[in-house]
Structure 1
Amino acid sequence: MVDDGRYLIALSLMVADPVSLIAAWPHDVHRLGDAAYEAYRQKFPTIAEKARIAGSAEALSVEQVLDVAPDVAIFREGMGPNSEQIRQIEAAGIPVVFIDFFSQPLENLEKSLRILGQIIGAEERTEAFIAFRNAHLKRIIDRIAAKPDLVRPKVFLEAHAGLTECCNSPGRGNVGNYITLAGGHNIGADVLPGAFGKLGIEYIISSEPEIYIATGGPQTEKAGGFVIGPAFSPEQSRTSLAKMAARPGIAALDPVTRGEVHGLAHQLLNSPFDILVAERLAKWIHPALFADVDPDKTLEELNTRFLAVPLAGPNWIDLR
């Protein structure tokens, strides 16, 4: 049992049929994207029939967990059951496990993958993917480390752009750490102590960011926000990104006037797709230094070597 649909992605890296391992999940299709979910449903029709439990952003029902009676209950660190609920679940003979793809993924994603691999008995394939992921991250880390005098451009990343009033941003954690890894300076980390928070437009303007990156997906479509992913064409994504860049305040930012506006699928975050995020950020932040890095090639290798359900696109785009 898992409390986040994105854990299906991790399992799909480890086994040919990840859905067969799931006793229950939240049916949080928005976290996968409608098109991605449909790809899973087409290949594994039983996904739609799996028991539904509360997701990590909802109030946990111990009764739901006990009714499903899974071999193990996997929760997101910091969001799952409290100590009394853990006691009740474990008293029923169900081990409780916490993993973290959200708060500090650079620190905890590898550990979390190993935990999942051990639980399902897929250690060898899990280690193969971890080695693949580490090699791609190390290439970026080593190049940045070799440039001690590297100037770090200021980056403003707006998460779920257009979903709510401006502006959601990473702080000290989550994708903000990948901006740092890729040689950028995340302006959200200067004022947001947690993994995510909200920045005022006055602060954003005064910070003088040099690069603007929006994340979005199908979850922002109804709000008229930035959309990207396999359900949308590049033209649709670019049009919606232009709309985000034209908003009052955002339109006045220097990177917008210079065309340094980029879009990223939010569904890539909080998952083992973080290597694609790291590579794409690196090319946006330091294009000359990472001219030979090819996220499209990395995605192709992910699809052919590991994923039970291939990841479709587009998942990143430039306004220019």
Structure 2
Amino acid sequence: MRIFLHTILAVVAYLFSAADMALAETVTVTDVTGREVQVEAPVQRVILGEGRQIYFVAALEREAPFKHIVGWRDDLGKADPETYKAYLAKYPEMADLPTFGGMKDGTFDVEQAVSLKPDVILMNVDAKTATEEAGYIETLAKVGIPLVYVDFREKPMVNTEPSMRLIGKLFGKEKLAEDFIDFRAKSIAAVTDVLEREKPEVPLVFMERAGGYSEDCCMSFGDENFGKMVEIAGGRNMAKDIIPGTFGTVNPEQIIASDPDQVIITGGNWGAYVPGGAWVGVGYGADKGEARRKLEALTHRAAFTGTKAVRNGEFHAIWHQFYNNPYQFVAIQEIAKWLHPELFRDLDPEATFKELHARFLPLDYKPGHFVSLTDKE
């Protein structure tokens, strides 16, 4: 009887698999670089070029986010250990996924990727140069494996919507992708509509990227990513005219001379990279008391001595990974509250983030992604 039952289950599994294959068809998708790529969709076997791509896969595959993942880069556990542990606790099979190094550091194993027989490889656009120089696209094409680029980091305010639509098409989740895009747009409009109507004074904001990660100061953002989020939220990004691209560095003397009204630092638990570092460990379920202590310690660096932001306690920290996923609208709401507390006293970014989890994500919501010296202790 047991053998018979196993046979029946195997046949059922095969029939479901065959049905999935029968439903697949060759579709032409356009990735964020403008490349037209043919893919068999809905995809059944996917390699994630970065582990943190689970942020967007989970939003479209809430019930089984790892169902179609056959390999991924090994960065999530190091860059965002709390989220990694939360997913691992709920989906222990995740630990058995083959892992890869990165394209940009030359440790991506293309032979391993080919052996996993993926229907598609999703790659972040910032790896494009390294991918092309290594000839990976041509190598993969010879064995019928397409590679498509998405982007939530280089120009997220431009590429988040087309990236989500692309992923929705690949996974056969077009309607859900549009629902997500609509939720995102309405969440941003909750900020921009008020700013357009009220036209408040625009404070000068310095965004420090990964403050305390090293002893050097001060990495920041040009006219994209968090730099653009600041401007959407009703601030003036101090580094906009200093940094020509998305990422760059500002001299401490420039910060002192500019005297920003507010400073916002991106943070996370980077113990895997810099054990015991001065970074501010905000993130999923973070200890806000400890994060606030470390945030206050960063105000004593020379770059911020005597600035209005420090004198007035307008010194904040926000989860760094908002810079690399489609949840940036939550960050925009929180920044707007910091910059214009009276205008947005009724706006609740935590509630927005909770709704995002309730509607789209498989994890239960946990706070800890923001901390400010203006918070009541």
TM-score range for the pair, normalised by the shorter chain length? over 0.9
* In 2: Cα distance, 1:46 partner to 1:55 partner: 22
Equivalent residue in structure 2 for 1:13, among 59, 72, 79? 59
Please say if residues 56 and 76 of structure 1, whose CA atoms lie closer than 8 Å, have aligned partners that are also in contact: no
Deviation, structure 1 residue 4: 1.5
Match of 2:160 in 1: 109
Indicate yes or no: 2:142 matched with 1:91: yes
Deviation, structure 1 residue 126: 1.4
Deviations 1:229-282, CA, capped at 9 Å, x for gaps: 235311101100011112223232211011111111112221121111010011
| Superposition pairs of residues 207-222 of structure 1, within 5 angstroms | 207-219=258-270, 222=275
Deviations 1:120-165, CA, capped at 9 Å, x for gaps: 11112111111111111122222223345x4211101111111121
Match of 2:43 in 1: none
Equivalent residue in structure 2 for 1:233, among 287, 294, 305? 287
* In 1: Cα distance, 2:367 partner to 2:301 partner: 26
Query: Relative to structure 1, is the Cα distance of residues 57 and 266 closer, same or farther in structure 2, using a 3 angstrom cutoff?
Result: farther
Where structure 2 has 5 or more consecutive residues not aligned to the other structure, the ranges are 1-46
Please say if residues 153 and 210 of structure 1, whose CA atoms lie closer than 8 Å, have aligned partners that are also in contact: yes
Where structure 1 has 5 or more consecutive residues not aligned to the other structure, the ranges are none
Counterpart residue type for residue 17 of structure 1: A
Match of 1:283 in 2: 337
SS of equivalent residue, structure 1 residue 135:
helix
- Identity percentage over the alignment? 31
Equivalent residue in structure 2 for 1:71, among 114, 119, 131? 119
Indicate yes or no: 2:87 matched with 1:33: no
* In 2: Cα distance, 1:171 partner to 1:122 partner: 33
Match of 2:248 in 1: 197
* In 1: Cα distance, 2:364 partner to 2:91 partner: 13
Equivalent residue in structure 1 for 2:212, among 159, 162, 166? 162
| Superposition pairs of residues 127-206 of structure 1, within 5 angstroms | 127-148=178-199, 150-164=200-214, 165-206=216-257
TM-score by length of 1: 0.95
Single out whichever of 160-169 and 31-40 deviates more from structure 2. 31-40
Indicate yes or no: 2:110 matched with 1:62: yes
Indicate yes or no: 2:342 matched with 1:292: no
SS of equivalent residue, structure 1 residue 117:
helix
Please say if residues 103 and 174 of structure 1, whose CA atoms lie closer than 8 Å, have aligned partners that are also in contact: yes
Single out whichever of 155-164 and 62-71 deviates more from structure 2. 62-71
Indicate yes or no: 2:370 matched with 1:316: yes
Deviation, structure 1 residue 30: 4.8
Equivalent residue in structure 2 for 1:257, among 287, 311, 316? 311
Deviations 1:44-94, CA, capped at 9 Å, x for gaps: 111111111123543243223222221101111131310632111111101
* In 2: Cα distance, 1:233 partner to 1:56 partner: 33
Counterpart residue type for residue 51 of structure 2: G
Counterpart residue type for residue 68 of structure 1: L
Give the root-mean-square deviation of aligned CA atoms: 1.7
Counterpart residue type for residue 253 of structure 2: E
Match of 1:2 in 2: 48
Indicate yes or no: 2:74 matched with 1:24: no
Query: Relative to structure 1, is the Cα distance of residues 32 and 307 closer, same or farther in structure 2, using a 3 angstrom cutoff?
Result: farther
Single out whichever of 48-57 and 115-124 deviates more from structure 2. 48-57
Indicate yes or no: 2:132 matched with 1:82: yes
TM-score by length of 2: 0.81
Counterpart residue type for residue 340 of structure 2: H
Indicate yes or no: 2:107 matched with 1:53: no
Indicate yes or no: 2:119 matched with 1:43: no
Single out whichever of 79-88 and 255-264 deviates more from structure 2. 79-88
Bigger relative contact order, structure 1 or 2, given CA contacts below 8 A and separation 6+? Answer: 1
The structure that has the greater radius of gyration is: 2
Counterpart residue type for residue 362 of structure 2: A
Query: Relative to structure 1, is the Cα distance of residues 10 and 50 closer, same or farther in structure 2, using a 3 angstrom cutoff?
Result: same
* In 1: Cα distance, 2:124 partner to 2:325 partner: 12
Please say if residues 245 and 251 of structure 1, whose CA atoms lie closer than 8 Å, have aligned partners that are also in contact: yes
Counterpart residue type for residue 183 of structure 1: G
SS of equivalent residue, structure 1 residue 116:
helix
Please say if residues 25 and 52 of structure 1, whose CA atoms lie closer than 8 Å, have aligned partners that are also in contact: yes
SS of equivalent residue, structure 2 residue 234:
coil
Please say if residues 203 and 236 of structure 2, whose CA atoms lie closer than 8 Å, have aligned partners that are also in contact: yes
SS of equivalent residue, structure 1 residue 290:
coil
* In 2: Cα distance, 1:39 partner to 1:143 partner: 36
Structure 1 stretches of at least 4 aligned residues deviating more than 6 Å after TM superposition:
none
Indicate yes or no: 2:361 matched with 1:307: yes
* In 2: Cα distance, 1:27 partner to 1:163 partner: 20
